[in-house]
Amino acid sequence: MQDTILVVETGGTFATVASGNIRSLDVNAGKGMVYGDSRVVDRVEKYNWKIEVIRPIYTLSENMTFDKLNALLECLWALDYSKYKGIIITHGTDTMAYTANLLSMLFGRVGVPIMLVSSNHPLVDQRANGMENFLGAMDFIATADLQGVYVVYKDYKGIIQVHLGSRIKQMNQIIDAYESFKDLTIGEITDGNFKLYVSPYLPDRESINDGHIPINLKPFTLGKRILLVYPYVGLRYDYFNIDDSIDGIVCGVYHSGTVCVENNAIDQSINTLIEKAEKNNIPVFIGELSSKNDHYDSFTNLVKSDNVFPIYDISLENLYVKAHIALSVFEDIKSRESFINNTNVFFEKVID
């Protein structure tokens, strides 16, 4: 009996062609170049697979919106996963980290692997790693025997890395590679086989395939208005127009887990933002913080507010999507904070 691999096409550079130094989507990009590739055909024959293709959205990933993400989620919620050996989602590199973190929270334990793949250049470009990423996803499905959401990406060293979707960070465009939260890549594809790395800070095979679902999240619609703020020297927090049209704020920190709280430059202090948020009852989530590190005294000088929530041991990308889920699903702030801080949905938390 043939197993079925479902390919969910969403666009991205993986589906582009270049003309006159301009890259644009090609509606026929995958037909011959991907599914007709001899290496893909060989794997389909070797594993007695058939490939099914759907296209719920088609976009350059920098143009990803909540409407498009909701269409993708609606498609994935409607699937009968028992029909498939695995899922491959083609996606653009620009926003794939957010999509991967989101899907990890919602589909990490559906019983099959969900692989996100992308390409750094159009597939016809000799520099492109897209086909190797796609083939790596096929090899993972064939050899890993793991459920979960993963990103496969060949890095600048030539290693086909496999990242947990719940830990992947935004693309490092300088080195043209993805990195996992706290540099904890879960494995790699070598000679057509998946190699699972072993570390006290990585889940083992038994944990990954555990059927226990930490929290059962019902379908919802993305649409909460959440600001994501990264700190930098000179950031004017007083410029933010904070009113009740905003549902939440996610604030990043510097390397030491700190933010500016300088009283002599209150316009550049995060306390200005916090006070505005408190007046409008807007929650402020602060990460990436480590529960094992001491706080600098500057962090203790944050305005004391019931609306401020330090979030520990997850990446800022994961915090952002968990905040969206929390504000969409839970009504009270205690449940929202508990979900973000205390629930380890699919190995997003790293306590070191």
User: Looking at residue 30, what is its pLDDT?
Assistant: 62
Q: What tokens appear for 187 in the block?
A: 């494995």
Q: What tokens appear for 175 in the block?
A: 């080195």
Strand partners, 249: 227, 284
Residue range 206-232: average pLDDT?
94
Band the pLDDT of 135: cuts 50, 70, 90.
Answer: very high
Strand partners, 17: 24
pTM: 0.95
**DSSP assignment of 99-132, as one string?**
HHHHHHHHHTTSSSEEEEE--SS-TTSTT--HHH
Q: What is the CA radius of gyration of the chain?
A: 21
Mean confidence (pLDDT) of the chain: 93
Distance between CA 320 and CA 252 in Å, rounded?
10
User: Looking at residue 29, what is its pLDDT?
Assistant: 67
Q: What tokens appear for 173 in the block?
A: 């465009």
User: Looking at residue 187, what is its pLDDT?
Assistant: 99
Domains for the chain: give ranges and CATH numbers.
3-208 (3.40.50.1170), 226-342 (3.40.50.40)
User: Looking at residue 27, what is its pLDDT?
Assistant: 73
